[in-house]
Amino acid sequence: MGFKYHRTIRFQDTDAAGVVYFANILAICHEAYEASLATSGINLKEFFGKSDIAVPIVHASVDFFKPLFCGDEVVIELVSQQLSDYSFEVGYQVFLGDMIMAKALTRHVCIDGGSRKKRVLSGELLGWFNN
């Protein structure tokens, strides 16, 4: 599944040097992830709220190639990939124009909301991979 998310870098995203703070790029990528879920028809309030499943991030990484500044208009392209019956990863590329500014990756595991044990990915997540 491929998805593009448009975002303006805001002052609150930057650090004292005026560039995007390293942890905030993951927050911006997570915005793109949430937007992709919503676009595929997943109800975010239910998915992240009172669902019987949870999909916590168990690994995250970011590589920066060039700095991003307040006012930059970026496009985050994300691609999700199922890794197993109970896990998936999302790869992100952050573009400014045609230049890749950063790459990120999040790995998620599907667990039962009560027992916190691994469980098979839900039908709605499987549908999300195919959108």
Neighbouring residues of 46: CB distance < 8 A, sequence distance ≥ 6: none
Q: Catalytic residue at 13? A: no
Q: Are strands 73-82 and 99-109 parallel, antiparallel or unpaired?
A: unpaired
Of 13, 15, 52, 72, which is the active-site residue?
15
Compute φ and ψ for 44, nearest 5 degrees: -65, -35
Catalytically active residues are 15
